[in-house]
Structure 1
Amino acid sequence: MEPVPISAVTRHFGLPASTLHYWERRGLISSHRRSGWRYYDREQLYRVAQIRLWRDIGQLSLDDIAAVQAGDAADGDWRETVAARIDVIEEQMDRLIAARTYLRHLLLCTQESELHECPHFRASVVLPEASRSEA
């Protein structure tokens, strides 16, 4: 396969050229130069696709991607980097599920206009009590 010019790579992956330049500066990908233009071989195209997938789906940072690509993280195996990201995603999912549950409950509240008077809301809130020394 002939090396592919940067313009074709940016069109295909929907990335600005500046992103590819930045990834190259970070050492995540490399290009070949011809007449001052960047060209990417098959291996680098797979790397671009992989980085994009890891960013979009895996929500990995570029530092995490560099550690995974290198095969190890600063503090151990690359799997630790991935496992830590899974932990963060699971925490986010828990918060999103709680938010969805609360908002669905809010939709069912019988209090039409004064939501702060919703009996279920009021029952779930713990209010501070005045201490005798402050009174």
Structure 2
Amino acid sequence: MDGLTSIRAVADHFGLPLSTPHYWERRGLVVPHRRSGQRFYDSAQVYRVALIRLWRQSGLMGIDEIAALLSRTENRQDVVDTRMADIDAQLDRLAAARRYLGHLKQCHHGPSLEDCPEFRAGIQVPEPAKH
């Protein structure tokens, strides 16, 4: 059909529920062609679906961030810089959690893990109240 792919075929190919491309259409992220009341995507829109899916899965981006990136009016660099800073902070938190879990595998403080000196050394606690 003139190089067009049905919305069902695109959703199935990318492992998406059919409701997802419908939602993306309502949000203005994709624009299907319509024939006899059915939706079809040209190759540019199929690649756009792939890009949105990639950003949702690996970039951990929300729909608003994706809409800003796809917008011709938004400053894409600001969106990308903000998202990269968020990912870097998340990576730092994950690395700290991984280090602690690695320590936990060998920690000898048993059920009193909160008493572990290495754990306590890495935690800031509030000052006790002065009476």
Paired positions, count? 129
Structure with bigger gyration radius: 1
Moved over 6 A (4+): none
Change in 2 beyond 3 A, CA 1:110/1:54 = same
Unaligned runs of 5+ in 1: none
| Deviation at residue 15 of structure 1 after TM alignment | 0.8
The CA deviation at 1:103 is 1.9
* Unmatched 5+ stretches in structure 2: none
Q: CA-to-partner distance for each residue in 1:42-69, whole Å, 9 max, x for gaps?
A: 1111111111111112222111111111
In the alignment, which residue of structure 2 is the partner of 1:110? 108
In structure 2, the residue corresponding to 1:2 is in which secondary structure?
coil
- 1:61 counterpart residue number: 62
1:90 alignment partner, one of 68, 88, 91? 88
Instruction: Name the TM-score, length of structure 1 as normaliser.
Output: 0.83
Among all aligned residue pairs of Structure 1 and Structure 2, give the percentage whose two residues are the same amino acid: 50
Q: How does 1:66-85 map to 2 (within 5 A)?
A: 66-73=67-74, 77-85=75-83
Task: Tell me which residue corresponds to 1:50.
Answer: 51
Q: CA RMSD in A?
A: 2.0
Call closer, same or farther: CA 1:121–1:28 in 2, change over 3 Å.
Answer: closer
Normalising by structure 2, what TM-score?
Answer: 0.85
